[in-house]
Amino acid sequence: MTNPDNYPRNDYGTTPDPAPVEPPVEPASNTQVEEFTISGDTLMSRVQELLHESNIRRILLKNENGQVLLDIPLTAGIVGGAVGITFFTPLVAVGAIAGMLARLTLVVERRV
């Protein structure tokens, strides 16, 4: 069997469809990490402020040794009242941790 158009043929004698062109993959979103050394008494208010910012991706709470005590991942869809309901349990944990420790490191991961 001759192939006048010089295209490769499959077993059925037809030309296979070319592979679809996939869109370019976007690079991972850029993130900026900030660390704050904070005392236990100001921790709750600072975390509540951060929860209302729209570009926060994650909040980590570390002790003086660098051990992670609490990791709160945040999604882009969280707004207003949902924050209070969704993060009620982690906020209680933040309050309990703040009462036990004097110096903490608050790590904030932001979308740039």
Q: Report DSSP letters for 46-65, one per residue.
A: HHHHHHT-TTEEEEEEE-TT
Better-scored residue on pLDDT, 23 or 106: 106
Considering the entire predicted model, what is its pTM? Answer: 0.57
Q: Report DSSP letters for 13-34, one per residue.
A: SSPPPPPPPPPPPPPPPPEEEE
| pLDDT of amino acid 81 | 46
d(CA 72, CA 44): 14
Average pLDDT over residues 7-36: 65
- Residues 30-82 have pLDDT tens digits of 888 899 898 877 887 888 788 788 788 888 888 888 888 888 887 654 544 45
The amino acid sitting at 76 is: A
| Burial (Cβ within 10 Å: 0-12, 13-18, ≥19) of residue 43 | buried
- Residues 82-107 have pLDDT tens digits of 545 455 566 667 767 666 667 888 89
Instruction: Calculate the alpha carbon distances from 11 to 14, 83, 85, 93 in Å.
Output: 8, 59, 60, 64
